[in-house]
Every structure is written in structure tokens, then in C-alpha cells.
Copies of this chain bind each other. A is one copy, B any other.
Amino acid sequence: MIEKEVKIKVCCSEMERIMNVMRKIGAKVLGNYREVDIYFAHPCRDFSKTDETLRIRTFNGKDLCELTYKGPRTCSERGVKAREEITARILRSDVKGLALILRRLGFKEVTRVSKERVEFQIGEVKVALDRVEKLGCFIEIEFPKEELLGRILDMLNIEEKFVEKTYLEMLLTHNLKSIKNN
């Protein structure tokens, strides 16, 4: 229930090379989906201050979607994020109903994050290759122990330069800039 992960910005031209390394080292493909996340604001709590999130995630071609809550981040010096994550799976056909329940309870839709994600599993480590709409390409690595992270970074030959922001925060900043420029 405690998710420990890092996010790394990469050039989209690098994605093919990283994908090939994952295949070469025998990583198992967990999924290849278009994911759309709808983020909600709390009716009486400012999530941007409490550092929490609530979202509904849908996957193209999957019969289930997910309601996920994430608690406040703790961030190590190296930039490794750890936060509580709780998920409940909902029938895809009921996703509109779920969003309506949240709206009736006073939650408000903030924004949507769309991405193409290819997810791999190698031992206890999960590696996600994300092409995020409006934001570019990222690698997310979820791991139980820090030494496993080092090994994966070595194999992938990518720099240890972690992004602390979430996609939601990056997209809100991006949207703000777009408004200012117009």
C-alpha cells in the first residue's frame, strides 16, 4: 500500500531503445494501454495543500477501471517518492455513475491526464514507459528496495535525475502557461 517510485524525463526518441533493453533482459509486459485519469478536487479540503489526490483511471479495452487515492508524498534526498496508494476496481460500464456520485458529493473534476503506457515487470520492479499528452515521455520505476532501482538504471543506461512532480502538477503548470501565453 506504500508506493515507492521515481520518475525520469526522457527524450521520446529514447523510448524504442529502452523498450528493447527491457525485452532483452527478459522483462514481462504487464500491459499496453491508453490510460485516461480524471482528477478530482475535494469539497472541503485543498488537495494541493494536503498533497493528496483522488482519480478515476480508465484503460482502453479493459472491463475494469480504478478509483485511486494517494496520500501525501515523502521524498528522500535522492528524489525517491513514497506515498500511500489505495485502489478499488470498478466495472468500466459504471465509470460514468462513479464520476456522477463524486460530483453529487461535491468533488469537482480538475483535469484529465491521457497517456500511452507500456508496463513491464522484472522481478519485484515495475517499469512504465509513458507518452503523456502535452508533457512528453517519461519512465516511472516502482520498486521495493533502493538497490534494485540502481540496478535497473544501470541496465537502462539512463541518468539518475528524478522528477518529483506528478503528471497532474506538471499538466496544471502547463495549462497555466498556455493561458498566460494566449
Contact = CB atoms under 8 A, between A and B. Distances in A.
Contacts of A64: 91
Contact of A105 (B69, B87, B101): B69
A165 B52 CA distance: 37
Contacts of A86: 97, 100-101, 104
B105 A42 contact: yes
A8 interface: no
A67 interface: yes
Chain A contact-residue range equals 20 to 34
A86 to B, nearest CB: 5
A94 B90 CA distance: 9
Given A43-B44, A44-B43, A98 B88 contact: yes
Contacts of A128: none
Would you call the interface of chain A mostly helix, strand, loop, or mixed? Answer: mixed
6 contacts: A42-B106, A54-B105, A67-B101, A69-B100, A69-B104, A89-B91
Nearest to A71: B104
A45 interface: yes
Nearest to A66: B94
Interface in A77-91: 84, 86-91
Given A67-B98, A67-B101, A69-B101, A45 B87 contact: no
A86 B95 CA distance: 11
